[in-house]
Amino acid sequence: MLEPQDRIRFEQLVLPHLDSAANLARWLLRNRADSDDVVQEAMLRAYRFFERFHGGDARAWLLQIVRNTCYTWLEKNRPSEMMTEFDEEVHQLPSTTPETLAAQADERQRLMLALESLSPRSREVLVLRELEGCSYKQIGEITGIPIGTVMSTLSRARERLQRTLTSAAAKEAS
């Protein structure tokens, strides 16, 4: 059990990042019901492991736990999404084909589907960088990607998202 002063530190340092935790989990699992369960579980893990937190970036520390909890969940419940050789071109989800995307009148909806059509590994770097505003160092810490390859991972993810959006726009025009 944690000492009372640790409990207060947990409240002050970790809990304020609940929104960040919810956002990352929502984008990794692609739906709210599952991600709420996983966030709850991740918060418990964070609390259990809080003794191992020796200062530093509390958000990155929490998000690392959230991310690992999400991946464990995905491996168990949707192993197909976790295939290491996941190829975004071949294994495109039926809901996110260019045709479906093109049919989306709503720009935001289209962007959401495009983002969800990427592999979890591409999606997470985009969410962390563009929505969460993380630095490369933080992205490396959270995802375990070596700092030297964060830039190229992000570059590939951006390119894939752009390509998905462009092909949807082309389908719409045709």
Partner 1 sequence: MNCELAQTTVHGYFDGELDAVRSAEFERHLERCPECQTALEGIESLRTLLQQSNLYEQASPHLRERIREQLAETSSAGRLPPVYSRRWFLVPTFGVLAAAAAVLAVVFFVLQPHTHAARITAELIDAHVRSLQPGHLTDVQSTDQHTVKPWFDGKLDFIPPVSDYSEQGFPLVGGRLDVVDGHSVAALVYSRRRHFINLFVWPSRNKETIFETSGSRQGYNWIMWGSPDMEFCLVSDAASGDLRGLKDLITR
List residues binding partner 1 (CB under 8 A).
1-2, 7, 10-11, 15, 18-19, 21-23, 26-27, 32-34, 36-41, 43-44, 47-48, 73, 76-77, 107-108, 111-112, 115, 126, 129-131, 135-136, 151-152, 154-155, 158-159, 161-162
Give the distance from CA 120 to its chain's centroid: 7
Structure tokens given for 69 = 């909890």
Which backbone phi and psi does 14 adopt, to 5 degrees? -100, -50
CB of 124 to partner 1, least distance (A): 14
Q: Are 66 and 21 in contact, with CB atoms under 8 Å apart?
A: yes
Give the distance from CA 18 to its chain's centroid: 14
Residue 161's region, left for phi above 0, alpha for psi from -120 to 50, else beta, is alpha
Q: Which is nearer to partner 1, 87 or 107 (CB)?
A: 107
Return d(Cα 160, Cα 123) in angstroms, integer. 10
CB of 154 to partner 1, least distance (A): 6
CB of 36 to partner 1, least distance (A): 5
Residue 86's region, left for phi above 0, alpha for psi from -120 to 50, else beta, is beta
Q: Which is nearer to partner 1, 55 or 148 (CB)?
A: 148
Q: Which is nearer to partner 1, 156 or 171 (CB)?
A: 156
Q: Which is nearer to partner 1, 158 or 171 (CB)?
A: 158
Q: Which is nearer to partner 1, 36 or 172 (CB)?
A: 36
CB of 1 to partner 1, least distance (A): 7
CB of 161 to partner 1, least distance (A): 7
Token pair 């726009």 is found at 169
